[in-house]
Amino acid sequence: MAGYSPGEQPSPGEQVIKLNTNENPFPPSPRVVEAIRRITPEALRRYPSSMADEFRVVAARVHGVPPESILAGNGSDDILQIALRTYCGPGDVLVCPAPTYSLYPVLAELADVRLIPIPWEPGWRLPTEALLGARGRAIFFANPNSPSGTWVPIADIEALAEGTEALVLVDEAYVDFADDNCLSLLRRRRNILITRTFSKGYALAGLRFGYAIGDPAVIANMAKVKDSYNCDVVAIAAACAALDDVEYARGNWRVIRAERERLFVELERRGFAVIPSQANFLLVTTPDAAHAGWLYSALKVRGVLVRFFDKPTLDNKLRISVGAPQENDRLLAALDASLDRDPSPIARSTTT
Amino acid sequence: MAGYSPGEQPSPGEQVIKLNTNENPFPPSPRVVEAIRRITPEALRRYPSSMADEFRVVAARVHGVPPESILAGNGSDDILQIALRTYCGPGDVLVCPAPTYSLYPVLAELADVRLIPIPWEPGWRLPTEALLGARGRAIFFANPNSPSGTWVPIADIEALAEGTEALVLVDEAYVDFADDNCLSLLRRRRNILITRTFSKGYALAGLRFGYAIGDPAVIANMAKVKDSYNCDVVAIAAACAALDDVEYARGNWRVIRAERERLFVELERRGFAVIPSQANFLLVTTPDAAHAGWLYSALKVRGVLVRFFDKPTLDNKLRISVGAPQENDRLLAALDASLDRDPSPIARSTTT
């Protein structure tokens, strides 16, 4: 098997505009940095709380749920794996709209779970009937979706969950940049599990901390499957501080959303087909559709990293993370330079 | 299923002599604390190196192996799970001497792997013939072993690995307190995988960082199974600093080994049967063998936590971590108070 292909991570010293893995362009809250500096040698020496109790209390307060509804993990990737293994044994079926987060098929393969992909309906609408018809043990999708950035209305998710006893996992990794979220559904539907991460909205991708919010019975089952000590004391303290200072994060979300709308307009003006996004990235179809891979390389040469998925249905597209204003300016300048001045590979090959 | 039962973790404020989960009684190196304080907001914001490249370089230098022989994980528990899933699919067989680290059966059950336990030979010698005869895909055991603290000579491990194509995983979580280790075998046997942790020898149980050392081909296979970003930037930086300052850690290992020998003598003097240990703990049979569970409780009431495994073959024993000198004094005083002054439960039950 091939394993998951994460986006490129340039080495610390490299000067590059990094718009390929949807990191937050702004630093984390100063309170997070302070919380990390306050970690004592004694806290490092001892095993952490197995269930990240301190974080559960903070998250429960912020989200208005009981602490027993919260499960912390080593990044939301850890949570996704735990949920999959809790609900799907070898040979069982996981159903996903396609395309969605490219980690799900990898996790399924590792767990000998059969993944049935169901193409999105036109306009990236949820293919509810087909998802239900596949009769899986669980249905996973990201909302906002990756790599499209598109949004499934909450009512559609409720209808899906009402039509099945399977676990409906809504991966809200990008929800901090959206207009709404699924929290209100938890009271009505026990088979909905929400996953969240601190990697995007809270600018803590380096820390690996995510969590699930769901019915206490679901969370208790997942707790048996997770590693005994899956979260470290530093990440727990940082996540608590970050969630406690949500106002700081919210200020950055507003800037990113505004920049997303500016980029949308600027990219359309340059001939890209842009999908309206509720996330901190845009999926764009390049003006000359065949050359997305070439444009990716042309941008990279100019010091701007974006994401190119060399896969059917995505190979004429680029996924571009929304950066800070100056980074987005640099992206647009690099796009202009690449599209105006460079001969296309086809032109080159016919002239040599 | 029941899941893994980690040892109790008292809340941060509780005043207790904690000798139940084999933490290091001394704080981590000041250089580790300094490395954590130096983490920049920019490092937190970005995804970490997927393979913990910085750590691989340091570990390779310290151990005299190529960086490609190192795989970092979120605690050695993460490494153990990755190794199991890499080598054993559903229905495959994992073989372990029994008893050994109690996590292995839990990991096996979670992965639908069949674990065949082979009792240790008298004197905790490796049951080589029976381990080979079970024909598993992998053989896992801890050396020094937990919960016994006993040591399998390197030559016996080499003979085991020579007799099979299966993966022989030697869990060296406690090796920093031992006289020897298996590193020298890696050059001769490609099917040996060593796992290490920073939780014990380096006093970083709170951080969750462990690693494997093995043949580059083995490591490459495991890399496909691991979470894409399984280690965070803080833990990577701390682990590098800890390994760079091995001299600091070594000083503490010397004290712990000396205290282990002192406790051995003192416990034998009090009528306990004590197994010679190469780890930072002792497995003792209580003077009145039936009452290990009661003695555990009597010590807990006196503010000393030790480990009681309520399982066949272990239910007349306690596992006691070696603490700092004053902690060990407190343990011995609490033992004296419990054994001399308290009526045994049987005495109590006959008088009421």
Q: Which of A232, A240, A256 to mutate to test the interface with B (most CBs of B within 10 A)?
A: A232
Residue A47 amino acid letter = Y
Strand partners, A316: none
Q: What angle, rounded to 10 degrees, do the helices at A325-341 and A292-301 form?
A: 120
Q: What is the DSSP letter of B166?
A: S
Q: Between A3, A45, A204, which is nearest B24 by CB?
A: A45
pLDDT of residue A12: 63
- Window 187-246 of A, Cβ < 8 Å to B: 199, 203-208, 223-225, 227-235, 238
> How many other C-beta atoms can be found within 10 angstroms of the C-beta atom of residue A307?
21
Beta-carbon separation of B233 and A49 below 8 A: no
Beta-carbon separation of A103 and B28 below 8 A: no
Regions of chain A short of the pLDDT cut 50: 342-352
All residues of chain A having their beta carbon less than 8 Å from the beta carbon of residue B230 are 74, 208
State how far residue B287 is from chain A, nearest Cα, in angstroms. Answer: 30
d(CA B287, CA B285): 7
Token readout for B202 is 């380096």
pLDDT of residue B27: 98
Classify burial at B211, counting beta carbons within 10 Å of its beta carbon; exposed 0-12, middle 13-18, buried 19 or more.
buried
Nearest to A172 by CA among A148, A186, A193: A193
Q: Between A42, A203, A207, which is nearest B27 by CB?
A: A42
Beta-carbon separation of A6 and B50 below 8 A: yes
| Nearest-10 Cα torsion for B182, B253, B5, A41 | -130
Q: Which of B23, B46, B55 to mutate to test the interface with A (most CBs of A within 10 A)?
A: B46
Residue of chain B minimizing CA distance to A200: B45
- Window 104-143 of B, Cβ < 8 Å to A: 110, 112
Strand partners, A142: A171
Residue A349 amino acid letter = S
> How many other C-beta atoms can be found within 10 angstroms of the C-beta atom of residue B137?
18
Q: What's the number of CA atoms in the CB half-sphere (13 Å) around residue B178?
A: 23
Contact (CB, 8 A) for B235 and B211:
no
Beta-carbon separation of B207 and A234 below 8 A: yes
Nearest to B257 by CA among B179, B147, B171: B179
d(CA B171, CA A141): 37
d(CA A178, CA B140): 47
- What is the distance, to the nearest Å, from the Cα of residue B297 to the centroid of all Cα atoms in its chain? 24
DSSP string for B287-346: SSGGGHHHHHHHHHHTTEE-B---STTTTTEEEEE---HHHHHHHHHHHHHHHHHSPPHH
Strands A210-213 and A70-73: antiparallel
Contact (CB, 8 A) for A202 and A28:
yes
d(CA A30, CA A210): 20
Beta-carbon separation of A204 and B45 below 8 A: yes
d(CA B224, CA A2): 7
pLDDT of residue B2: 65
Strands B17-18 and B304-305: parallel
Strands B273-274 and B281-285: antiparallel
Helix (H, G, I), strand (E, B) or coil at A28: coil
d(CA A36, CA A237): 7
Contact (CB, 8 A) for A174 and B11:
no
Beta-carbon separation of B208 and A37 below 8 A: no
d(CA A173, CA A210): 9
Beta-carbon separation of B44 and A50 below 8 A: no
Helix (H, G, I), strand (E, B) or coil at A296: helix
All residues of chain B having their beta carbon less than 8 Å from the beta carbon of residue A46 are 9, 18, 23, 205-206
pLDDT of residue A311: 86
Question: Residue B222: left if φ>0, alpha if ψ -120 to 50, beta else—which one?
Answer: alpha
Q: Which of A45, A146, A209, A307 to mutate to test the interface with B (most CBs of B within 10 A)?
A: A45
Would you call A31 an interface residue with chain B, using a CB distance cutoff of 8 Å? no
Residue whose pair of structure tokens reads 């040996």 in the numeric block? B192
Cis omega before residue A144 (within 30°)?
A: yes
Beta-carbon separation of B47 and A23 below 8 A: yes
All residues of chain A having their beta carbon less than 8 Å from the beta carbon of residue B103 are 228
Beta-carbon separation of B44 and A1 below 8 A: no
Beta-carbon separation of A41 and B33 below 8 A: yes
Would you call B74 an interface residue with chain A, using a CB distance cutoff of 8 Å? yes
Residue of chain A minimizing CA distance to B82: A110
Q: Which of A228, A252, A321 to mutate to test the interface with B (most CBs of B within 10 A)?
A: A228
Q: For residue A143, give every residue at least 6 positions away whose Cβ sits within 8 Å of its Cβ, in sequence order, or none.
A: A151, A152, A157, A170, A171, A172, A175, A178, A182
Contact (CB, 8 A) for B128 and B115:
no
State how far residue A327 is from chain B, nearest Cα, in angstroms. Answer: 15
Would you call A327 an interface residue with chain B, using a CB distance cutoff of 8 Å? no
Is the model's pTM score more than 0.90?
Answer: yes
d(CA A299, CA A283): 16
Q: Between B7, B45, B234, which is nearest A203 by CB?
A: B45
Nearest to A48 by CA among A240, A244, A234: A234
Beta-carbon separation of A26 and B47 below 8 A: no
Would you call B23 an interface residue with chain A, using a CB distance cutoff of 8 Å? yes
Would you call B337 an interface residue with chain A, using a CB distance cutoff of 8 Å? no
Q: Between A4, A12, A36, which is nearest B228 by CB?
A: A4
Token readout for B64 is 């005299």
d(CA B269, CA A53): 41
Helix (H, G, I), strand (E, B) or coil at A195: strand
Per-residue pLDDT in tens (0 to 9) along chain B, 352 residues: 666 777 777 776 678 999 999 999 999 999 999 999 999 999 999 999 999 999 999 999 999 999 999 999 999 999 999 999 999 999 999 999 999 999 999 999 999 999 999 999 999 999 999 999 999 999 999 999 999 999 999 999 999 999 999 999 999 999 999 999 999 999 999 999 999 999 999 999 999 999 999 999 999 999 999 999 999 999 999 999 999 999 999 999 999 999 999 999 999 999 999 999 999 999 999 987 658 999 999 999 999 999 999 888 888 999 999 999 999 999 999 999 998 754 444 444 333 3
d(CA B283, CA B277): 8
Q: For residue B269, give every residue at least 6 positions away whose Cβ sits within 8 Å of its Cβ, in sequence order, or none.
A: none
Sign of the C-alpha dihedral, residues A107, A109, A115, A118?
positive
